[in-house]
Amino acid sequence: MLTPTYTILYVADPQASARLYGKLLEAQHVESSPTFVLFPLENGRMLGLWAKSDAVPAADFHGCGSELAFRVPDDAQVDALHGKWREAGLRILQAPAKVDFGYTFTAADPDGHRLRVFARGE
């Protein structure tokens, strides 16, 4: 089985996005240039932030085509991150709510990428 190991987000300003994702992920990047920043994630995967102006081939980016989802242990953590991310200035697309798979909220980064936090329902 082939398993994806990198997620690449096309962004307007990789350095500005790196500051935001560094705070959200509580992580340090391992690679940085004016057009690309790379973060290691705890699960062995990598998150890359690539300048859409430099992506080869050109990124035909229209936003909201995918989302990064972060599973947390419980509803209280969902609420805590919602408050933290709202205070950090992220646009909240969906306030915390019960849905068929659990408890969740959705935010958007400055480039329109959807960021979902959820706790699985029982």
DSSP-derived secondary structure letter, 21: H
Domains of the chain by residue range: 6-51, 67-120
Identical topology for domains 6-51 and 67-120? yes
Report the Cα–Cα distance between both ends of the chain, in Å, rounded.
30
Q: What's the pLDDT tens digit per position in 36-82?
A: 999 999 889 999 998 988 877 776 656 555 788 899 999 999 999 99
CATH of domain 6-51: 3.30.720.120
Q: Which CATH architecture has domain 67-120?
A: 2-Layer Sandwich (3.30)
pTM: 0.79
Across 19-39, average pLDDT: 95
Helix (H) or strand (E) holding 46: strand 46-51
Please state, rounded to an integer, the average pLDDT across all residues of the chain: 89
- d(CA 43, CA 122) in angstroms, rounded, equals 24
Q: What's the pLDDT tens digit per position in 69-85?
A: 899 999 999 999 999 99
Q: What is the pLDDT of residue 83?
A: 97
